Chains A and B, each alone.
Chain A
Amino acid sequence: MRTKSSVKSTLENYLFILPAVAIFAIFYIYPFYETFNLGLRAWDGVSPVKEFVGLSNFKELFLYDQFWWPSMWHAGYITLIALTLQNALALSLALACDRAIRLGKFYRLVFFIPPVLSEVVVGLVWKWIFEPNYGLLNHWLVVLGLDQLVRSWLSSPQTALTCVAIIHSWKGFGWGFIILLAGLQTIDRQLYEAARVDGANSWQRFWHVTIPLMIPVFVLVSILTILGTMQAFVLVLTMTGGSPSLGCSVPVTRILGSMRASLRFGYACAQGIIFGIILLIVSFIQIRVSRKMKQA
């Protein structure tokens, strides 16, 4: 039986979590509700009238939007490069810095410089390097006698997306490096010693000690990579303008295009919701797969 004081105590507890609940409701639940609500309407962003159109925005997105699904594929391609190239680079550098090497702290600092640089600045600098007329890359290719490789790197559908993906990986590998290095440093050194005593070589120690213990960290890094890369757009915009004809559009540039160029805020909200759901599904699948891997 509840006494008066226990009810009071419960109310007090609720009162203390009220600010957090209010902030969550105001900044997360309400915007999500509004986005979903707008996804069911035709709205230009200014008019007081928001015409209810049911699921027609979603229907158009799934059945008729010829640029949306290619943009998902483009983001997927950049993510694939990030998951492989970027994280492989991050892991190998983290393994190197985990050992007692000379200037280890200096390297840690250097590897973390690209992530802290402004994405717009990085995009513009690399755009200048890739510039077909006076860019550094083509200049050096000519100097080295590799004239046949000179091309308009960011103006060709064959190379533009790959260039963006590589620069994205260069820009982002520092985050993975720091997290993976932190993970490596939590592994008890005695386990390596024990494996060495049992006759394990360095590859076997890596495969049977490091990898299993690092799985939770790999999962974290890959989820962060997927979520971060699928939503990347600043580099895409600054380097290529995000043009679908160049094969460089990504979902966020399409959402921006719907809002800014076409003034279809309702449609943009529908795109945002579908994009969010896809990211959620990908994250759930990844968590389940990693759990199974861990159990195995």
Chain B
Amino acid sequence: MRNLYYILIVSIIVGMWGCSQGPTTKADVIIWHWMTDRKPAFNDLAKKYKEETGVSVEFKLFAPSEIYSQKVRAATQAGTLPDIFGVLGEKKDFAIFVKAGHILNLSDEMQANNGEWKDRFFSKALIVNEFKRGNEYNAPPGIYGVPIDVMNIQMLYNKDLFKKAGLDPENPPDDFEEFIAAGIKLKEVGIQGLVSGWAEVWMIDCLASNFAFNLMGERKIMSTYKGEVPYTDPDWIRVFSLFKEMADKDILARGIVSMNNKDAEQNFANQRAAFAFNGSWCVNVYKGMNPDLNYDVMFVPKVDRGNQMLIWGGAGSSFMVNARSENKEKAVEFLKWLTGGPQQAYLAEATNNLPANRESLSQISPILSKFAQSMEYTTHPNIWPVHEKSQVIETFDLGIQSIILGTKTPQQVAQEVRQVKEREMDKERQRTLSRN
């Protein structure tokens, strides 16, 4: 019997010992990322860095992005975040990590030597990674992320399909009317109009936001988010109606509402649709899917001449340093090196992404150059001073899906979004009252 006790106790100790042993690694700096397409380039750069400095860096890939996000969140609870990682999602997600003390404030490093590091980047790429004093998330002010590339989301059009439909491939539509007219012409010769991954509702949100900026300007949009302008305002109904018009004129690709962006990219690359709404990362994707694709970039068609059309863009991917890492100095040094001119040029060439370092722009392809030219017209929810509630955004985006499907009218959707907005405002008021 006594032997049995010993066996039991030894088993428990061995079991607990086994559980307590985490994965061991010899690298000085560990980086977690989700960017499958950049894996070989990252590994090459890590090798080069080791040769130059003797510091070993290991990039660990966790894909797809949902899995990566879950892993990072779980690591915050378990205290196993790596030295460098990225935060996927909106600014509020980023703020949560900052407020919880997981991310190192890089402001001093960025400002050192007269802002040598900070000045390398596109200002819009850095602003996404920054929290200003008095920000709505109450995050401590500072720069918390290092952009490794930038992106923006625009329209693409297929030049060969344009020719087939008798359209001028050098003069893509400039405004919404021209866009609809081109879509109708394309349809007449059996070519589908616009394709995009609108099963991923954030892409609908993005185009709707482009239209809204053009129709009513930033101030009115922010006033809506603050609850001062209702979603039943004629300008918002016009935003919803633009999607109805595209659906009614049948210029949206079949199945667009259940299409994820990968399928949409495949449809555009295989010349099944003439227009695509997609981000600058698509250059690399299309190159892989169809290297002979003859396409170009066009700005999102304007719906109004009053306000500047703003498109979504800014930092594409950013890396953050774990504030609790024992190797944070080494991690910061590596990020400084990674965002240096030669490394950024290499990344841009190898992965066809826009470099975050402005000086590396001269070495990018003509199509990426066109994306880069529009960086000054970019905006992003992450840099807006006010943010909409997630429940309202969900009702808004799903409402547009319903409009495209023909199950709801723009007015109905506007009313529903307004109701959810009012309810959320009430909830917030009650919560504030109970706190006080």
Q: Decide if A241 touches B423 in the complex (CB within 8 Å).
A: no
Within 8 Å CB of A261, what residues of B? 390, 394
The residue in chain A whose Cβ has the minimal distance to the Cβ of B5 is A15
Interface centre among B76, B267, B272, B405 (most CB of A within 10 A): B405
Interface size class of B (residues with CB under 8 A): 35 or more
Q: Decide if B398 touches A155 in the complex (CB within 8 Å).
A: no
Q: Decide if B254 touches A48 in the complex (CB within 8 Å).
A: no
Q: Which of B50-58, B147-155, B256-264, B288-296 makes up part of the contact surface? A: B256-264
Q: Decide if B258 touches A246 in the complex (CB within 8 Å).
A: yes
The residue in chain B whose Cβ has the minimal distance to the Cβ of A160 is B258
Residue B107 CB within 8 A of the other chain: no
Within 8 Å CB of A15, what residues of B? 8
Q: Decide if B401 touches A243 in the complex (CB within 8 Å).
A: yes
Residue B99 CB within 8 A of the other chain: yes
Residue A45 CB within 8 A of the other chain: yes
Q: Decide if A243 touches B96 in the complex (CB within 8 Å).
A: no
- Known A-B contacts A155-B254, A157-B407; the reply to A241 vs B394 at CB < 8 A is no
Contact with B along A1-45 (1 / 0, CB 8 A): 000000000001001000000000000000000000000000011
Residue B199 CB within 8 A of the other chain: yes
Residue A64 CB within 8 A of the other chain: yes
Within 8 Å CB of B267, what residues of A? 133
> Which residues of chain A in 258-273 are interfacial with respect to chain B, using CB atoms and an 8 Å cutoff?
260-264
Within 8 Å CB of B99, what residues of A? 47
Contact pick for B405, options A47, A64, A156, A262, CB 8 Å = A156
Total A-B residue contacts, Cβ distance less than 8 Å: 90
Residue A231 CB within 8 A of the other chain: no
Within 8 Å CB of B199, what residues of A? 240-241, 243
Within 8 Å CB of B415, what residues of A? none
Contact with B along A128-140 (1 / 0, CB 8 A): 0001111000000
Q: Once the chains are docked, how many angstroms separate the CA of A133 from the CA of B192? A: 10
Q: Decide if A133 touches B401 in the complex (CB within 8 Å).
A: no
* Distance from A283 Cβ to chain B, minimum over Cβ atoms (Å): 29
Residue A46 CB within 8 A of the other chain: yes
Q: Once the chains are docked, how many angstroms separate the CA of A130 from the CA of B192? A: 18
Majority SS of interface residues in chain A? loop
Q: Decide if B258 touches A241 in the complex (CB within 8 Å).
A: yes
* Distance from A288 Cβ to chain B, minimum over Cβ atoms (Å): 38
* Distance from B75 Cβ to chain A, minimum over Cβ atoms (Å): 10
Residue B97 CB within 8 A of the other chain: yes
Majority SS of interface residues in chain B? helix
Number of interface residues of A (CB under 8 A): 33
Residue B221 CB within 8 A of the other chain: no
> Which residues of chain A in 39-59 are interfacial with respect to chain B, using CB atoms and an 8 Å cutoff?
44-48
Q: Once the chains are docked, how many angstroms separate the CA of A67 from the CA of B416? A: 12
Residue B356 CB within 8 A of the other chain: no
Residue B306 CB within 8 A of the other chain: no
Contact with B along A214-239 (1 / 0, CB 8 A): 00000000000000000000000001
Q: Decide if A246 touches B96 in the complex (CB within 8 Å).
A: no
* Distance from B171 Cβ to chain A, minimum over Cβ atoms (Å): 27
* Distance from B416 Cβ to chain A, minimum over Cβ atoms (Å): 8
Within 8 Å CB of A240, what residues of B? 199, 258
> Which residues of chain A in 130-182 are interfacial with respect to chain B, using CB atoms and an 8 Å cutoff?
131-134, 152, 154-157, 160
Q: Decide if B390 touches A264 in the complex (CB within 8 Å).
A: yes
Within 8 Å CB of B89, what residues of A? 263
Residue A244 CB within 8 A of the other chain: yes
The residue in chain A whose Cβ has the minimal distance to the Cβ of B256 is A155
Q: Decide if A245 touches B254 in the complex (CB within 8 Å).
A: no
Q: Decide if B93 touches A132 in the complex (CB within 8 Å).
A: no
Q: Decide if B76 touches A46 in the complex (CB within 8 Å).
A: yes
Q: Decide if B96 touches A133 in the complex (CB within 8 Å).
A: no
The residue in chain A whose Cβ has the minimal distance to the Cβ of B192 is A133
Q: Once the chains are docked, how many angstroms separate the CA of A274 from the CA of B255? A: 33
Contact pick for A154, options B73, B200, B255, B416, CB 8 Å = B255
* Distance from B51 Cβ to chain A, minimum over Cβ atoms (Å): 37
* Distance from A16 Cβ to chain B, minimum over Cβ atoms (Å): 9
Q: Decide if A132 touches B255 in the complex (CB within 8 Å).
A: yes
Within 8 Å CB of B399, what residues of A? 245
Q: Once the chains are docked, how many angstroms separate the CA of A251 from the CA of B35? A: 30
Q: Decide if A47 touches B96 in the complex (CB within 8 Å).
A: yes
- Known A-B contacts A46-B96, A46-B100; the reply to A262 vs B258 at CB < 8 A is no
Contact pick for B401, options A131, A246, A262, CB 8 Å = A246
* Distance from B45 Cβ to chain A, minimum over Cβ atoms (Å): 29
Within 8 Å CB of A48, what residues of B? 100
Interface centre among B99, B200, B254, B258 (most CB of A within 10 A): B258
Known: A67-B398, A133-B254, A245-B405. 10 other contacts (CB 8 A): A15-B8, A66-B416, A66-B420, A133-B192, A155-B257, A157-B407, A243-B258, A245-B401, A246-B257, A261-B390
Which B residues are closer than 8 A to A by beta carbons? 1, 8, 66, 69, 73, 76, 89, 92-93, 96-97, 99-100, 102, 192, 199-201, 253-260, 263, 267, 272, 390-391, 394-395, 398-399, 401-402, 405, 407, 416, 420, 423
Give 5 nearest A-B pairs by CB, closest first: A241-B199, A245-B401, A132-B254, A155-B255, A262-B390
Ordered by A's residue number, 14 sampled pairs between the chains whose C-beta atoms are within 8 Å are A44-B93, A44-B96, A47-B99, A66-B395, A67-B394, A131-B255, A133-B253, A152-B254, A155-B405, A240-B258, A241-B200, A243-B258, A261-B394, A263-B96
Which A residues are closer than 8 A to B by beta carbons? 12, 15, 44-48, 64, 66-67, 131-134, 152, 154-157, 160, 239-241, 243-246, 257, 260-264
